[in-house]
Chain A
Amino acid sequence: MGENGDGDGLAENVGQRFDRLPATADERRVEGRVSREEVCTYFEERFGMPLETFEEYTFWEKGSGRIWIYAGEAPTPTSVEALGMTCLRTRQEHWKPTTDFVARFGHHATRCVIDLTREQAARFVRGEDQELPWDGDWGYLIAACELAGEREPLGVGLYVHGEFRSMVPKGRQRALE
């Protein structure tokens, strides 16, 4: 069973274990699994993160469409609780980066970053939606605000129809000023 399973047929995605993403789509053995190349290209095209950012990392899938980024060593497949951090959901129409990935790697982004004032940022980290002007692409954006003179990525929001919806998970929301 698994990635190197039964010959030409695509194997099933096994939910309880981690599989390393194939380097490219041609090496794909599991139906619907994205490749490392597609993930890096997405981060580069959507957020302008240079491809080199991810040179030292591997990408993994556990369960359907949950992609993890990991800096350590592990064989594929492997059975553990977590490898590094979840970074992206791919099995939905629009791919969605996680808040924690953005907090960790968002400073490499050069596009689709929406700069919030401190009040807007406070609403964002409380988990609230807000009306905001934005003339870039719609969809998932990196929310940032200035802290001590530097831009700081905060998390992910969804921009549609003039509204910016906070995607900060419940457990990460905070009441700040």
Chain B
Amino acid sequence: MEPLERYRPIIDDFEAFLEACARPLPSVVRVNTIAASLERATAVLREEGVEFEAAAWNPHVLRLTDDAQGPGSTWVSFCGMTHGQEEVSAVPPVVLDPQPGERVWDACAAPGGKATQIAALMDDCGTVVANDSNLGRLSSLRFNAERLGASALAVTHQDARNFSLKPFDFDEFDRALVDAPCSCEGTIRKNPDALDGWSEAHLESVSGVQKGILRRAVQATREGGTVVYSTCTFAPEENEAVVDYVLDAEDCHLREIEIDLEHSPGITAWEGETYDERLERAIRLYPHQNDTGGFFVAKLEVGS
């Protein structure tokens, strides 16, 4: 927990934050509407005697209130009607707001919770290009995509920083999600050892990769298209600083995010650096606000 001390100046009610970080995460599933409607999936859950409560901000996100069985050991899960996915990890695809028939790029997609959610939001119609540079993680992505029946999803294995659209016969996307590799501080409730090996030097090296991927995503998206940047970490070096850099380097601007979850605005100053004021439009989701993991989400529109 010690590395988290550096966020004391930017987090309201820091003690509640630390307390929440020390608690285990509630078990949450997302209803996969490719396999079943919400009504059908919840009917099967009820028949199985699984108790749940829908999240107020998203009826497809269900908190299992008595998770004796584990989210994977149910008939609904076997049939692909639900997928275990942390509650705030379901936020970026909702902010991306993909539409049926569009071309969407998920630059860092493995193991595929968000890519399959994107396919479901598009009614499994259009093209979702789910990319990752890690072959081992790609096999989990493929397993999840097939289990959930995502037939509009293509899987590529490239370094997203210089992603090539050569395997496709179009040359830009309507939308892109960059759910970047990060220091994962916000997953501390799921992995109590998430902070082992934490160092500022690591933040610097990972932020270089993040900038490269986000730049490529803006370049590969059409004028007027949407790019969402997200991480599961608190470090401004990996969040606001990355977006601030890309706002300068590429032709894009920040949009407001509307979401019915308690959150804090992005910050505009950190350790002597200042960022574009519009970074307040980004959102920071802290564990104590909604009893979830931590996330950062920013929404960009390509062009001026």
CB-based contact B44/A148 at 8 Å? yes
B190 within 8 A of A: no
Among B35, B149, B153, the residue within 8 A (CB) of A72 is B153
Of the listed stretches A81-89, A108-116, A130-138, A159-167, chain B binds A81-89
Which residues of the other chain, B, contact A64 by a CB distance below 8 angstroms? Answer: none
Tell me if A100 is interfacial: C-beta within 8 Å of chain B: yes
Q: CA separation between A151 and B155, bound complex, in Å?
A: 31
Alpha-carbon gap, A175 to B74, bound state (A): 9
Q: Report yes or no: A72 in contact with B154, Cβ–Cβ below 8 A.
A: yes
Within 8 A of A (CB), among B158-177: 167-170
Question: How many of B's residues come within 8 Å of A, CB to CB?
Answer: 40
Q: State in angstroms the CA–CA spacing of A172 and B80 once bound together.
A: 11
Check B146 against A86 for contact (C-beta < 8 Å). Answer: yes
Residues in B128-145 with C-beta less than 8 Å from chain A: 128, 138, 142-143, 145
A54-91 CB mask vs B (1 if < 8 Å, else 0) is: 00110000000000011111110011111111100000
By beta carbon, the residue of chain A nearest B76 is: A147
- In the bound complex, CA of A78 to CA of B127 (Å): 15
A10 in contact (CB, < 8 A): no
> Cβ of B46 < 8 Å from any Cβ of A?
yes
Contact of B147 among A70, A73, A80, A172 (CB under 8 A): A172
CB closest residue in chain A, given B135: A81
Q: How far is the CA of A78 from the CA of B168 in the complex (A)?
A: 7
Query: Is A82 touching B154 in the complex (CB atoms < 8 A)?
Result: yes
Can you show 26 pairs from A to B with CB atoms below 8 A apart? A69-B151, A70-B154, A71-B152, A73-B170, A74-B154, A74-B168, A74-B169, A75-B169, A80-B154, A80-B157, A81-B157, A82-B142, A82-B154, A83-B155, A84-B150, A103-B147, A103-B149, A147-B44, A147-B47, A154-B78, A154-B79, A172-B147, A174-B73, A174-B77, A174-B78, A176-B74
Whether A84 pairs with B152 at a CB distance below 8 angstroms is yes
A80 and B40 contact, CB distance less than 8 A: no
Q: Nearest Cβ in chain B — how far from A21, in angstroms?
A: 15
Neighbour of B127 across the interface among A57, A72, A174, CB < 8 A = A72
List of A residues within 8 angstroms of B154 by Cβ: 70, 72, 74, 80, 82-84
CB of B156 within 8 A of chain A?
Answer: yes
Shortest B112–chain A CB gap in Å is 11
Distance in Å: Cβ of A61 to nearest Cβ of chain B: 15
Hey, which bits of chain B sit against chain A, CB under 8 A? Answer: 34-35, 40, 43-44, 46-47, 72-75, 77-80, 103, 124-128, 138, 142-143, 145-147, 149-157, 167-170
Contacts of B150 in A (CB 8 A): 84-85
In the complex, which of the residues A75, A82, A149 contacts B155, with contact meaning CB atoms closer than 8 Å?
A82
Tell me which residues from 139 to 177 in chain A have a Cβ below 8 Å from any Cβ of chain B: 147-150, 152, 154, 171-172, 174-176
User: Could you tell me the distance in whole angstroms from the C-beta of A162 to the nearest C-beta in chain B?
Assistant: 26
Query: CA A79 – CA B35 in complex, angstroms?
Result: 28
Partner of A57, one of B128, B151, B153: B151
What chain A residues lie within 8 Å of B145 (beta carbons)?
82, 85
Q: With A and B bound together, what is the CA distance between A104 and B46 in angstroms?
A: 22
Nearest-neighbour CB distance to chain A for B180, whole angstroms, equals 20
The 10 closest A-B pairs by CB, nearest first: A104-B149, A72-B127, A82-B155, A148-B43, A71-B152, A81-B155, A100-B146, A75-B169, A84-B151, A71-B151
Known: A69-B151, A100-B146, A104-B35. A81 touches B79 (CB 8 A): no
| Complex: A175 Cα to B155 Cα, angstroms | 30
- Report B84 CB to chain A, min CB distance, Å: 13
Query: Provided the pairs A84-B152, A84-B153 are in contact, do residues A73 and B125 lie with their beta carbons within 8 angstroms?
Result: no
CA distance A149 to B44 in the complex (A): 9
Closest Cβ of chain B: how far from A166's Cβ, in Å?
Answer: 12
Assembly CA distance A103 to B77 (angstroms): 12
Inter-chain CA distance A103–B150, complex, in Å, is: 11
CB B80 to nearest CB in A, in angstroms, measures: 6
Pair A81/B34 contact, Cβ less than 8 Å: no
Most buried by A among B43, B72, B146, B147: B146
The answer to whether B75 and A85 touch across the interface, beta carbons within 8 angstroms, is no
Q: B80 touching A103 by the CB < 8 A rule?
A: yes
Complex Cα spacing A57 to B150, Å: 12
A171 to B152, CA, bound (A): 23
Shortest C-beta distance, A33 to chain B (Å), equals 20
Is A125 among interface residues, defined by CB-CB distance under 8 A? yes
Query: Across the interface, which residues of A come within 8 angstroms of B74, CB to CB?
Result: 176
Residues of B within 8 A of A84 (CB): 150-154
